[in-house]
Every structure is written in C-alpha cells, then in structure tokens.
Structure 1
Amino acid sequence: MLYHGPTPRLQAGPTPVSHLHPNAQRPMKDNPQNQMKLSQLRVLVAVADHSTFSSAALALEMSQSAVSHSIAALEDHLGVVLVARGRHGARLTPVGERVISHARTILHQADAIVTAAEAVKGLKGGEVRVASFRSIAIHLLPDAIAQFNHRYPGVAVNLSEHDNYRQVERALREGRADIGLTVLPAAEDLDTWVILENEYVVLMPPQFRASKPQLTWVDLTQQPMIMPPLDRVMMRDVYDHIQAHGHHLNVVSEVETDTTIVNLVAQGIGATILPRLAAEPIPSAVQVFSLPDPLSRVIGAAVLADGLHTPAIYGFLDILKALAKPIS
C-alpha cells in the first residue's frame, strides 16, 4: 500500500542501518502512520543508482540525513535491511536487489499515471523511453523518432542502446524502458508486434570467386572466417544452423566490433556472417550472399503485457508498426 502523506518521524533510538546484518529481518509494521511511500522508493532507487547517500541526496536535492531517514523508515516498515553502508559507500543487500526492480516499476507507473492524466486531451508532454540493440537503433529508429517528433513535438524520446535483446527485455522488466526492440518470439510477459526481418548474410572478400551463382556450403566452409565472439547472443543461431546442416566454419579470428569485421573482409583478410543491419553500410568491394539455406531473425517492438502505457507510448508504437516491413 502506498501512502502519500508526510514522512513519519522515526521512533527514538532506531538501530542504525550500518549496524544491522544484511539478512536481518523484523516483523513488517502496518501502522497507518508508517506506510511505504513513493518518496521512499525514489530515495531507494537514487541510492542504488549513485552508490552513496551523499550522491543520492545531491541528485534528489535533499539533505543526506533526510535520505538516511527515508531509507530507515522504509526498512522499518518492511522489516528488512535494504541498504548496507560501509567505507566504500552504500550497496543493496540481497533483499534490496530483489526489491529494487519492483520499486523502479512502481515509480514509472506512478509517473505514467500523472502523464496520462495530463494528456487526457492529447499528447502534450511526457516522454517515451525506447531500448534497442545497436544495429536496429542505427537503421530503424532515426526515421521513427523523426516522425514522432514531427507529430508530437511536446513529447521527448529517450533512446538507450544495448548489446543484445536480453538486455533490452531486462530494461523493460526493470521499468527502465517503455518500448523495446527485441528478437521474436519473446517471453509471454511481453506484448509484441513484428517490425522487420533481418537476414544473416555472408560477406565475402573482393577476391572470392563462387563455384556457382548461389553460395554453397563448400564455398563457405573453405573460407577463413572472421566472426563475432561465440558468446554473442546473435551468433548462437548461426552456429546451430550451420551445424544442423552438418558443417563447421573455419574461424581464424574473433573480433568484437561489427564495423571492424566488415572492414577486414573488405581488405581481403577473410569472410564473415552477420545480420544485414549489423553489417551495413557494406563497402562496394565486399560480395554479399545469402547462406546456402537462408537464415533470418525477426525483430519486433515489445512492451510489458501488464504495464500501464501512456498515449505517447501508443503513439510511438503506431509509428513503428507503420514502418514495419512485410516478412517474405
């Protein structure tokens, strides 16, 4: 239960946070004067983000003692220790780590309620937070954001880039993003819409001469391959696909950055396999082929299925869906 009244004063003589064992538990108090408040959750999130009470206080424009009192009151209500203080600052306890994602979600939904109320007569303000992995952010989102800004100039769009779709989905679940661009199919807790199909393409060096118009497995497996690291989420499907056809790649080098890989191929050092959007822009000297048995991944827009979504979020989703490309 959330209480919006004034912050209750602490009882005399509480045990200091720094003296409590992180796993200590106390009975949860249900006194109406000692209820969990949004302001306390904001303080908890600020402490988690800034790792010290002083930095959190500065960010919130509060005194450090007010931050300490807010955390202590929240812990007193819940009956658990959420923050451990030491010489290296403040850190979340294991219980605090479990609580923090829920706190972020509650705060975001509370903000969404305010935004929705203010926008009853139209999209007049607020923000849309979009999470995407880098290749999609580069190629799809600039057009979407430009259209959204033209249509709804009073609404800000904040974009966060992530290394892979798992990080995107984590941002949605932790309340750090409203819309995520992810790989489909996604988990059941997300509502999704298909946006585009991103084919895995083979990039061959300028000197390569194919034995047939269509690339063969023999052509591919005889090439020295420059590949992203095996632990990259997007590459697992590639290796599984090739092994399912009874073949193995001759990987001679692993390189982290897609742009560097493409440039190495252009210099004739080897070949590679990348999602097309990750490979672009592709130099004219590089030869582009589909895999002998083509492979693609489907990219979609996702939101939390049980989330509270503002008109601005639905407006951005409408633009993404309008930009969607049909899947062959």
Structure 2
Amino acid sequence: MTLLQLRVLLAVAEHGGFTAAGTALGMSQPAVSRAVSALESELDTVLLRRGRDGVALTDAGARAATHAREALRQVDLLRTEVAAVSGRVTGTLRLASLPSATGTLIAARLRGFAERYPLVTVRLLEGSDEEIRDWLDQGVVDAGVVTLPAPGLHLELLDSHEMVAVLPAGHALGAGDTVTYQALAAEPFIRSSCGCARVFEGVAREVGVRLDPAFEARELSAVLEMVGAGLGVSIVPAVALRTVPAETIVRPLVPRTVRTLGVAAAAGASPAARAFLEEVARTRKVVVPVSADAGRAPLAAPVDAARPV
C-alpha cells in the first residue's frame, strides 16, 4: 500500500471518475485504474462501484477513504511540523467557507496570509454551515468558517454583522424603515440553505412566528434573483450584499438580528491552520464579545435605516 494509491482513491471519489482524477493528479487514466486495482487487491475488497452515472465508493471504500484521508493528513502534518521547527510554515491549508463570507470576509485574509506564508498552498471549499462542521469533524478540512456559538471548537472570531430583510422593489413592506418578523411570516418566504437560516429561524421562534419557505435556494445570488422577480421575501446577511440589486430593497429587521462568524480549526490543527487563525486574529479590527446568545443582539440596540448594506 502506497501513499499514491491512497491519494488516487480519494481523487477518484472526489471527482467521480478515473479520467477526472487523473487530470487532477497529473496521471493517465490507465495509471489511475492500476493504482486503484492494486489497492483493491491488497485489501481484498471492492472499493469503487463503476456505473453509468460515474464512480462511487462502496461501503468498504467509504471506510477506506476515511482512513486514507487521515493517513495522508498525518503525513502532511509530519512534514509541516518538522518544517515549523525551523520557522517555516509549509504544506496545504484546506479551508472551508460559507458562500456569503468568502468574497467579503475571507478573501482579504487569504491575500494577507499568502503574503506572509508563501510556501503554503491554499485549497478553498464552500459549503453550508452543517457541511463545514462535518468536514471539520471528519478531517476533510483544516479550518472552516462557522456560525457561532460553536461549542467545543477552537476558533477565532471573524465578524459580526446584521441580518436584513430583502423585498421586491415596490413591495408594501418597504414603505417602513424596518420590517418585523411577523410581517415577513405573512409573505411567501425564500430560504437560503447555505447556513444563515439557523440564525434568523431561532429569532423567529423566539417571537412566536414560523417562516415557512415557499422556495429554497443554496446560492445567495439565486435568492436575490427570486426576490427581485417578485416570488417572495427573504432574510440575508448584510455583509454579503456588496451592492443591492435594482429589483430589490433592503430593510433592517425588528427584532434586530446579528450573525457572528468564527474560523474554527479541526482537532490537531496543522501549522498552516494555526497560522491562518493567527492571521484572522491579527486582522480583526473590532472584537465582538461572543456569548451563548451570539445570534441575537439586544432588542434595544439602535438600528440605522439609512446604513448602507
């Protein structure tokens, strides 16, 4: 059994085929196939199921992939820890981010991180809050952006920002300076599944209403397009709205709703992951206290309806 065979197995599983895995690894398709066959022969079991829809892991293959991922992580950790003794941070940083945070909060940190640690290769994945927590637990990523509170995780505070109501242009609810949860609950609601829903749905429960989604979309851009088309209303993080689409209007929520994000590191974090958390801490301008009620700001907090989002 070789490290190359383990890398090939993971690449085939990730890309869903031998040819795509070969392209990613810089290997020919026959070489990829031979590596998998040799590994299956050594383990005396079938690891991959070939079908018309592509290639997928068998149950045995899924278990093998978990151990292969951990074995490769330990090898990478060995290299980076030894390099760190001499003051060099090397290796690969596997970082997961929420789509709404990548461009606005993570990109600038990655630019600074790359300048300070040019020997580190960064691999960025995007997923929902639940996916990122699973990836951290499984060791798929070294660090990830998560919504707070996140008990049991070693993390650095990233940002705290308001959630806002997004309405179709000309909607009656836009006549006021703010929008209540009760008013939104009476409208067709468009829910984003990327992870921010857990924040505003918690506040909705506290005020005694339910936001039943008429539509659901993973990407924020799709949510905004549906709102702009008049299909319903939504709640999104203000930090993700670099510009407000012409077909929509934005209003602060009542009660005021705040999402707090942190960058968490997986157990046994690599030097690269620890260095990135240090970069997040170094670049943080304002430290926001994090409590068990991090998803909700005091109701008496002022709301500036003219504040750009």
2:264 is paired with a residue of what secondary structure?
strand
Letter in 1 for 2:38: H
Letter in 1 for 2:190: M
RMSD over aligned CA atoms reads 3.6
> Which of the residues 236, 258, 264 maps onto 1:296?
258
Look up the match of 1:4: none
Contact kept, 8 Å, 1:217 with 1:292, in 2: the verdict is: yes
> Which of the residues 133, 150, 163 maps onto 1:186?
150
Query: In the superposition, relative to structure 1, how do residues 221 and 192 fare at CA in structure 2: closer, same or farther (>3 Å)?
Result: same
Q: Once the 2 structures are TM-superposed, how far is the Cα of residue 227 of structure 1 from its aligned partner?
A: 1.5
Q: Once the 2 structures are TM-superposed, how far is the Cα of residue 65 of structure 1 from its aligned partner?
A: 4.1
Pairs within 5 Å for 1:69-218: 69-73=38-42, 75-76=43-44, 81-84=45-48, 91-123=56-88, 125-162=90-127, 164-186=128-150, 188=152, 190-207=153-170, 208=172, 214-216=178-180
Question: What does the per-residue CA deviation read over 1:121-163, in whole Å, with 9 as the maximum and x for residues that have no partner?
Answer: 233643322110111101111110111122223333222222x
Scaled by the length of structure 2, the TM-score of the pair is: 0.73
Look up the match of 2:37: 68
Question: What does the per-residue CA deviation read over 1:256-291, in whole Å, with 9 as the maximum and x for residues that have no partner?
Answer: 542344356567775431122334422588554332
Is residue 2:278 matched to residue 1:318? yes
Letter in 1 for 2:116: R
Same amino acid, percent of matched pairs? 29
Pairs within 5 Å for 1:232-251: 233-248=195-210
In structure 2, runs of 5+ residues without a counterpart are 290-309
1:203 is paired with a residue of what secondary structure?
strand
1 CA distance for matches of 2:184 and 2:201?
13
Look up the match of 1:19: none
Contact kept, 8 Å, 2:8 with 2:35, in 1: the verdict is: no
1 CA distance for matches of 2:21 and 2:178?
59
2 CA distance for matches of 1:286 and 1:52?
42
2 CA distance for matches of 1:92 and 1:154?
33
Contact kept, 8 Å, 1:123 with 1:155, in 2: the verdict is: no
1:326 is paired with a residue of what secondary structure?
coil
In structure 1, runs of 5+ residues without a counterpart are 1-35
Scaled by the length of structure 1, the TM-score of the pair is: 0.69
Look up the match of 2:270: 309
1 CA distance for matches of 2:21 and 2:228?
49
Aligned pairs, number: 282
Contact kept, 8 Å, 1:205 with 1:268, in 2: the verdict is: yes
2 CA distance for matches of 1:39 and 1:209?
59
1:228 is paired with a residue of what secondary structure?
strand
Query: In the superposition, relative to structure 1, how do residues 113 and 244 fare at CA in structure 2: closer, same or farther (>3 Å)?
Result: same
2:119 is paired with a residue of what secondary structure?
coil
Contact kept, 8 Å, 2:48 with 2:58, in 1: the verdict is: yes
Contact kept, 8 Å, 2:156 with 2:280, in 1: the verdict is: no
Query: In the superposition, relative to structure 1, how do residues 98 and 269 fare at CA in structure 2: closer, same or farther (>3 Å)?
Result: closer
Look up the match of 2:307: none
Contact kept, 8 Å, 1:134 with 1:161, in 2: the verdict is: yes
2 CA distance for matches of 1:212 and 1:55?
53
Larger Rg computed on CA atoms: 1
2 CA distance for matches of 1:57 and 1:275?
39
2 CA distance for matches of 1:71 and 1:41?
11
2:77 is paired with a residue of what secondary structure?
helix
2 CA distance for matches of 1:269 and 1:40?
50
1:327 is paired with a residue of what secondary structure?
coil
